[in-house]
Structures are given as C-alpha cells and as structure tokens.
Amino acid sequence: MWRFGRKTGTGVIRRRSCGAQKDVYHKLRPAVAQKKVHFSLPPGDFSGVRKTGPFLFPDRWISNHGSAQSSSSACFNMRLFCSGTSNKDPIEIHKHRLMLWFSHLPQEEKQFGGYFSPETMHVDPLILEKNPEEGRGLSISPFKENISKSNSLAIEQIFDSSQNGNQGRGLNVLLYGAVGTGKSTVVRKLVLDWCAGSTLSQFKLMVPFSCEDLCHLSKPTSLRDLVGRKYMHLRKTPFLSGDSDQAREVLFIFNGMEKMKLDFRIGSSELCSDPNEALSSGAVVVNLLRKYLLPEASILVTTRLSAVDRIPKKYVSRYAQICGFNDPDRQRAYFTSRLLLQSGEKPGKDAESLIEMLYLNLQRESQLAAACFLPSYCWLTCATLHFLHFTDAKAPIRTLTGIYTSFLRLNFGGEVLASGDMSSQEYQTSLMLYVVRTVGKLAFDGVTNKRTYFTEKDLEQWIGGKTKTDEELQQLAVFRTDVLDFFLVPCVEHSRKVTESGEKRYVFAIPAMQEYLAALYVVLGENKNALEKVTKQVSEVVGQASEDITSIMSILSKLIPLRIFAIFNLLKLFPKLSERVSNLSKGRIASTMAAEMFRSEDSFNEDVLDQVEQNLLGVQGPQPEQEADTRSFELYPIFMGGLLHYGNRRLLDQLGCDIKSTTVVQITRSLKKQLVRESHKQLPPAELMDLLVLLYEFQNPRLTAEVLQSVKVINLSTVRMTPLKCFVLSSLLDCTPSSFLLDELNLSSCHITPELLHMLWPTFHNTHCLNLQFNSLDPESCILLRDLLLESNCTVKTLQLCDNSLLDRGATHLLDALPGNQSLQKLSLMHSGLGDRAALELAARLGQHTGLQELNVAYNNIGDNAAIALVDACREHPSIHTVHLYLNQLTDVGKQSLHVRGVPQEKGGRRVKVLASVTEGSDISEDWHPILSVITKNSLSWERERVREQLLVFLKDLEWGRKQHLSFWKKLHFRRVESVVRQTLRMLDKGSATGTKPASK
C-alpha cells in the first residue's frame, strides 16, 4: 500500500496494497481446499505443521496450491531429478526430496531481509532426559538454579543404542515440551541433518509424519500404503516389509502427537503385526508403539505436556523434555543468526550495537530474558527488532499488528480445543478464540485498570471462574497445561518474593501481548454490556420464531382483522433493535480507540515505537523513577486499528476469530469523525507520532487521506526519527492528494541523518515551511535540498537548516538552486559552519533570486568585510528586509558599520534590518529581544564558551551605553536588557555546572 512518489496516484497505492496482500497472504489459504492438485512432491505429512521462524515446518499450502516461487522451483528441480534418476536408489531420492522440502522457508522469513539456511539460524535448545513424573509442567524462567545440565543431551544422543536394554527392539522416544519450546524446529533440523549424512547414520531410512494429517485420514490403510501414499518412491522398499530385521535401520517420526487420540486398549485398537493389513491411522501408530508392528524400528514422538500420558509408560523407552533457551548465551546466538547473518553480508555496526544492547538486557535477568526462554518469543522479538530498525523503502510492507497476528497464527493456526470425544464438533472450540475469551479478558481488565501484573486469584476469576460442565473443565485443564504458560509467566521482579497476600505475580511474557489481546477482545465484540447480550438473545429467538409465524400469518391474514394483524408485525422490530444496539456498540469501540489514543496523562510519554524498543532493549542509563506495575497502554488503541486491516482479519479468520467487514465499516466511519476532530488540535509531538502509527497500522489510504486533510501542521520536533518512522511519515503523506499542503513540517531535533533525509524526501513536497534544524545533516545533504528547491512544483517558502554542519561546501550547493527557484522566502543557515567565503558567494548570488525576504546566517564564522558585503547585497535586493548576523566574528566597528548600512541612505529608500547586536551605538537595538530569545533557547546546546564570550561582549556594550548621558527612561531600558543578558549568563553557568543539556527548539 505505502510507497513513495506522488505522481503514481492512488491507483498505484491500491495495486501495491493488493500486491502486498498477495505476497503476505497468498500462502495463508484455508487448509481445506475445494480444488485438489496432486504434485509429485516430498511428503505432505509435515506440511500440516504451521510453525515457522524458530519453530519452522513447511506449510500445507505448498503441497495443495504450489503458489510460491520457491516451491515452484523446488517442484521443477524435483521433476528434473526424478525424470533422469529412475534407476537411482529410492533412499537417495527420499533424502533429496526431504532436503528440498524441509529447506523451504515461508513468507514470514522474508521480513528479515534475506535467505536463512537452517544451518545458520538454528540454535540447539536445552534437552533434558527427564521423566514427566519428576515435575509436572514447565516453569518458564531461564534463571532456575536447580536445572542440572549433567543429564542434558543432544537430539541425536537420545537414540544411543547402548542405552537400549532390549537390543532386539527399537527405541520409543517421547520428546515433550510446552508450546513454543522448539519441538518442531528440532525435528526439522534433525531431518535435514540426516539427509545431509551428518547425524543418526545408524538409520538408513527416516519416515516423518504429521499427526495432524494422520488424524484426518478416515479410510483404513496399511502401514506400507500409508508410507507409500506420502512417499511414492518408498512403496517397494524392503525396510518396511517386516522380513528379517531390516526395520532396525528405520526411524519413524510422529510430530504433534497431541493432535491424535491414541487408544491403546485391545478392544479399541486390535493387535497387528502385518505392515500390509489395513487399519485406522491411529491403530497403525499404536501398534508401532506397542512393538507389534515392525518391533525393530525406532520411533520419535513429539507432543505437548497435556498429552504425555496418552502413551502408557511401558511403551516409552526414554523421555526427553525440551526446555528452550535456558541461558542468555543461547538467546544471543539466536539473535545473532537472525539480525547479523543476513544474506551473507558483512554485519553493520548498527546491527552489532543492537545485538550488544539486547544482550545486556538479557544478562540483567530481565522479563525479556524470561520470555525468550521460549524460542518462539525469540522469533517475535527478532521480528519486532527487524521491523523497528531495518525497515526501509524496499522492504515488504510490515506492521506491528501484522507481526503479532502472524506470530499467533504460526503457533495456534487452525487448532481447536477439544474435550471428551474429539470427533464431536459440539465440544470443539477454536483455540485462539478461547484464548481471547479468557486471557484476552484478563488482559482487557489489566488495561482498563492500568495493571501489568496479575495474581492467582485474578487467573482463577477471569480464566477458570465460569466453567460448569465436565467438558468445559477438561478444556480448561488442557488449556492451563499447554497454553496458559505460553502467555503468562511469573514476574521476574517478584520471583524471589511474594505479595502481601502471599500470592505470586504473573505478567505477560511480552508486554505488548497484553495490549494486543485486549485489543482483539474488544474488536471481536466480546466486551458486551448487559443490554447488548440480552438484545442479541431476544433478537435471535424472535427472529427464528418470526419465520414460522410469518408463514402461518400469511394464511390467516385474510381471516384476522388488520389491527390485530399489525400487532404480530411488531415481532419483526426486535432484529432491527438488535442491529441498532450493535451499531451503537461499534461506535463505542471507535470511541474507546479515540479516548485511549489521546489520554492527557499519556501526553508526555515517548512515542509507542520508542516504548516498544525500550521494552526489548531495556533503558540505558538511569532507570525511570516509576513503578514497573503501572504504565500507559498506548499500543492498545493502535492494535485495535491494526486488527481492522483486511490482511490481519484474514489471518484471524484462520484462527477462528472472525471480524466482519460490516463491523469494520461501522467502526471506521465512527473513528474517522473522532480522529478528524482530534487532528484539529495541536497534539504534542510524541502523541502526533502515535496518531501516524495508528494510521499506518490501519493500512487504509482513504481514511488516512481524510484524517490528514484537516492537519495543517505536523510538528514532530524532538521525536527520535528512525528509518521506520521516516517510512511511516512518507507512506502516510503519499496517500494524500497532490493538492494537499502543510503550513509547516517541523522535524527539528529529530536526529535526522543524510540517510534518513533520503527516506523523508517525498514528505518535503507537501509543505510551505520545512524545519530541519538541530539535526545531523552534512554538506552532501544540501544536494538533495537543492534538487528539492529546483523542482518546478516546489512549495517550500521557509527552509530552516540551523545547527547542521553544512560548511561552505553545503552552502554552495544550496546557492545553486537560487536561479531556478521561485518559492523560497526565508532561509536560515544559523550555526551551520559558514565562513567568509560562503558569505561572499551568497552576496554575489543573491540577485539571482528575487523572492527572498529574510536571511539568517547568525552564529557562524563571518568577519566584518564579508558581513558588510552581504548587507550591501541585501540592501540592493528588491525583497530582503531582515539579515541575522549576531554571534559572528564582528568587531565593534563592524557592528556600527552594519547598522549604518541597514538604514536607508536617502528618504524613501529601503531599510534592511541588520540583527548584529543588542546595541546600536549608544542606543538599544529595537531587535534586542529576538536576538536574546534565540540565544537563550539554544545557549545550552551551542558551544558554551563562545556563547558566554558573546554575552559578555553584549554586557560590556550595555554597560558602556548606560554610562552615556541618557534620560532616566533610556537608562531603565538599558538595565532591563542588561538583566536579561545576566540571567542568560547565570543559566549558562548553572547548565555547565550540572552538565544538563535540554532539547533544543
């Protein structure tokens, strides 16, 4: 959607939007496709596992649709390989296809800027040989001192044959762990390493399956047919024949066993030892684990914590618990592979500095380190940091809301929370919708009451307080075991102490997740009041009844008087009443968004993007003096806006969270009115930046244009601009019509560098006053500004470049624009390193531009002769009326000469104001106040010794003037100005003593 270049128009924006949606969401189609396309592809079994990033497995969409370029090329390569290798060993074909299949990286990885091979981005999580009975559950804390690493092992060590007491049978290994600990990633790496021949060489055949796919197979099939159906080249392999002991060289992998309902009772799953006998998929897996079927084969099963007991202990040879990244060094290794090793390029200093800051925060035993105990949260952190620091004009369109939505889809996409009979649809609930109604409700309560921590009573009240039936209790038990710890973790600050009531405190693993879930809870309409609930129920009941009543009344209408018949028509009013209440509800959501966006108590906080960065990188230097329990929730309304974007709604629909288009229209219509009303106000810079981020997250060009149309001044002064913020500003202004113009674009004190100036280039075409003072621009930056001034449609009337190191070379570049520019009226080059050469060149070329009215070259290194030449040129200029020359290298004689030259030489001649000093001979300059005002504002940011020296010169001139023969009132005026100068001196001395440096204006 968001791209540069106004000439492209909104049509290109729409095309870019569609392209972005196609790129990001083309692969995210529903799992159940209407049209099936069969390719000769590697196995489709693991394709059912949605996970990516740190928990990556290929998605089903490749095998079903074949839409991605990389998958298409993979298909092409495999067909070439197969067509010419029919006589090759089937095992080699199998390895080749598995390698192609499992090496594929999905669309989400493209946000990191390059291609990552599994070898470069994989970090081994901690795996412990541990029986589940040794300690139920996983305490998500990387600082557990009781974790013994002596029993830790690598994934390939769990099949050590020396540990097998029964040499005649293969090992059954159960690898279990919480959501997000990296089970799927470990298995994926294991398959790739086996294909490459670097591990598990004792197995000549590895057969991976996805239990999610197996549980959907309704037709009975034999083990050989089951393998042959997924791996055609293995149909005739002797390893699965059951003859002799060849199966001892086979390893079966069943990933995600919690998706299947395995029943080991003889009456439910009959015994079978024939690989050719047709059974249900569950019975095949059960007999493999029983060692009735291919007893020599080894089996690796991965599962979540809640399903560990589904396999009886006597059928498990070894338990292994995967514990994620238990120390900052593993976490740092992961972040380094993601943020530094991009496309094989040499890491930049900025990226290395980012890693160091992140590592320092992890070493502090921070809440982030506790969250990154789970590799999945490492992926989320990495994606967010990449979004914050590596966004540029060429990067794919990404939003913060989109990152969090993708993160949840990758972990819980398509999952249901089942209880009782898993085949019954009655007791199956979308897992993500269950999360919203429980954890989301808890998050919403925290946001409403400005709380970031929760006690065990809170968890019981909001998550388990209303369960009644056995089925609901079973769902809750599974949810608490598998999912709850994924979102809520013990608070690190209170890990060694408890509250006064003796209860531990829990917080969201990532602070922004609380705001995201609270926003999703509201946007989905789960926050209904009593009237809305009752009205909806009554409307549904009456609406259903009215269908039957209408058919009856159509028969009886001829027999019943009209007045009585009209009473029955009242029944039709109730659905409309529900619709009206629903519309009011959507307006209430929009009002909530606007109210949360513009809270007065949040006006002095940093903008939300800086807040997100501080949550990840920590606060450098002195810690803020405020309680960690209370903070502003400024991301909450921004997430609400982002969730209304079409792309995020498509992802949420796959999670079972449906946001209707009509709902979005109603919320947007109400929100637009409130945003337009707020945009008329003069918002603080940080609040204005938050508004821009909201519009960017919304990804709605029409809404953006309508809101910005009422904005006349964009003041982002003192906001720390980053590539992302520059991209957001440029993208939003690109949505406005070509006739849109700002009175002022204030980007002063925004840490703008020459690189950021290029990103901001499109925004400069929308303003009359461009303020770029107090930044980090160099002489080459003036080339870009020169090109801006030379454009035929240039609208810039005021250009402020104070406090940038432009030097004489930069001024020369700017002067090249004077002949071709017609709009510029005020040019400020104060404190930009200009010398006599630049002043003389400026004097020589002023005549080439007839529209300039005011010129500010104060606080430079201009001497008497160059200053006099410049004033003479300004006096001859047809429109210049003011020249600023104070704080230059001027003598008393030079100042007097400048004052004389500014006065018209003849009656009726033009006068040029020359602001060189607070005195003009024995009189006070009428412009003393503007001069001292500018010096006072910037004295602590300029070179203090030089400012002090100039103030002392002013003081000396004032004292000399006061001693002249003046009237009482003039002497009083001198004393007044003198007191202002002394006050500025005292402020300068005090600032030097304390070392303070306030932001310049």
Spacing of C-alpha 215 from chain mean position: 35
Q: What does the alpha-carbon distance between residue 402 and residue 410 come to, in Å, rounded to a whole number?
A: 12
Residue 826 bridge partners (DSSP): 798, 854
Examine the pLDDT at 776 and tell me if it is beyond 80: yes
- Amino acid code (one letter) for 891: T
Q: How far is CA 262 from CA 213, 214, 307, 695, 990, in A?
A: 14, 11, 10, 49, 77
Examine the pLDDT at 142 and tell me if it is beyond 70: no
Phi and psi torsions of 830, nearest 5°? -65, 135
Residue 208 bridge partners (DSSP): 253
pLDDT, mean of residues 365-392? 88
Phi and psi torsions of 453, nearest 5°? -120, 155
Structure tokens at 407: 């993160």
How many Cα atoms within 13 Å fall on the side-chain side of residue 382? 28
Structure tokens at 70: 């990389």
pLDDT tens string 294-335: 999 999 999 998 889 999 999 999 999 998 888 888 888 888
Structure tokens at 744: 């002022």
Q: What does the alpha-carbon distance between residue 181 and residue 163 come to, in Å, rounded to a whole number?
A: 26
pLDDT, mean of residues 504-511? 89
Examine the pLDDT at 80 and tell me if it is beyond 60: no
Q: What does the alpha-carbon distance between residue 244 and residue 224 come to, in Å, rounded to a whole number?
A: 16
Q: Beta strand 453-454 with 506-508: parallel, antiparallel or unpaired?
A: antiparallel
> Residue 188: helix, strand or coil by DSSP?
helix
Examine the pLDDT at 10 and tell me if it is beyond 50: no
Q: Which of 57, 40, 31, 54 is nearest to 255 (CA)?
A: 57
**What is the chain's length?**
1001
pLDDT of residue 311: 92
pLDDT, mean of residues 68-84? 38
Q: Which of 913, 895, 917, 892 is nearest to 903 (CA)?
A: 913
CB 916 within 8 A of CB 858: no
End-to-end CA distance of the chain: give it in Å, rounded.
34
How many Cα atoms within 13 Å fall on the side-chain side of residue 735? 25
Confidence of residue 138 (pLDDT cuts 50, 70, 90): very low
CB 811 within 8 A of CB 786: no
5-9, 642-646, 762-766, 872-876: segment of lowest average pLDDT: 5-9
Examine the pLDDT at 205 and tell me if it is beyond 50: yes
pLDDT of residue 544: 47
63-72, 370-379, 800-809: segment of lowest average pLDDT: 63-72
pLDDT of residue 62: 32
CB 568 within 8 A of CB 648: no
385-389, 558-562, 842-846, 977-981: segment of lowest average pLDDT: 558-562
CB 207 within 8 A of CB 251: yes
pLDDT of residue 532: 41
Confidence of residue 466 (pLDDT cuts 50, 70, 90): low
For the range 11-19, what are the long-range contacts, defined as Cβ-Cβ under 8 Å and sequence gap of 24 or more? 13/701, 13/734, 13/735, 14/701, 16/397, 17/699, 17/701
pLDDT of residue 150: 58
Query: pTM (2 decimals)?
Result: 0.81
pLDDT of residue 791: 92
pLDDT of residue 429: 80
Examine the pLDDT at 569 and tell me if it is beyond 50: yes
pLDDT tens string 325-369: 888 888 888 888 888 765 445 667 778 888 889 888 888 878 888
Percent of residues, the chain, with pLDDT higher than 90: 33
Residue 320 bridge partners (DSSP): 175
Residue 713 bridge partners (DSSP): 744
Examine the pLDDT at 46 and tell me if it is beyond 70: no
pLDDT tens string 660-701: 888 888 888 888 888 888 888 888 999 999 999 999 999 999
Provide the phi-psi class of 197: left if phi over 0, else alpha when psi is between -120 and 50, else beta: left
Residue predicted with more confidence, 976 or 745: 745
pLDDT of residue 203: 93
Helix (H) or strand (E) holding 588: helix 573-597
Q: Which of 762, 767, 788, 789 is nearest to 8 (CA)?
A: 762
> Residue 723: helix, strand or coil by DSSP?
helix
- Amino acid code (one letter) for 376: S
Spacing of C-alpha 311 from chain mean position: 40
Structure tokens at 720: 């720390």
pLDDT of residue 922: 63
Confidence of residue 236 (pLDDT cuts 50, 70, 90): confident
With a CB cutoff of 8 Å and minimum separation 6, the contacts of 547 are none
pLDDT tens string 920-942: 666 677 777 777 778 777 766 67
pLDDT of residue 566: 56
pLDDT, mean of residues 891-911? 73
Phi and psi torsions of 680, nearest 5°? -70, -20
pLDDT tens string 257-307: 988 888 888 878 888 889 999 999 999 999 999 999 999 999 999 999 888
Average pLDDT, the chain: 78
CB 657 within 8 A of CB 516: no
Residue predicted with more confidence, 167 or 883: 883
Confidence of residue 419 (pLDDT cuts 50, 70, 90): low
pLDDT, mean of residues 111-130? 72
Q: Which of 365, 367, 379, 446 is nearest to 409 (CA)?
A: 379
pLDDT, mean of residues 154-165? 75
pLDDT tens string 938-995: 766 677 777 777 778 777 777 766 766 567 777 777 788 888 888 888 877 776 655 5
Q: Which of 691, 677, 711, 676 is nearest to 638 (CA)?
A: 691
pLDDT of residue 148: 54
Confidence of residue 638 (pLDDT cuts 50, 70, 90): very high
pLDDT, mean of residues 34-55? 38
pLDDT of residue 502: 62
| Surface-to-core class of residue 797, CB atoms within 10 Å of its CB (0-12 exposed, 13-18 middle, 19+ buried) | middle
Structure tokens at 975: 């004393």
Q: What is the CA radius of gyration of the chain?
A: 36
pLDDT of residue 729: 95
DSSP-derived secondary structure letter, 624: P
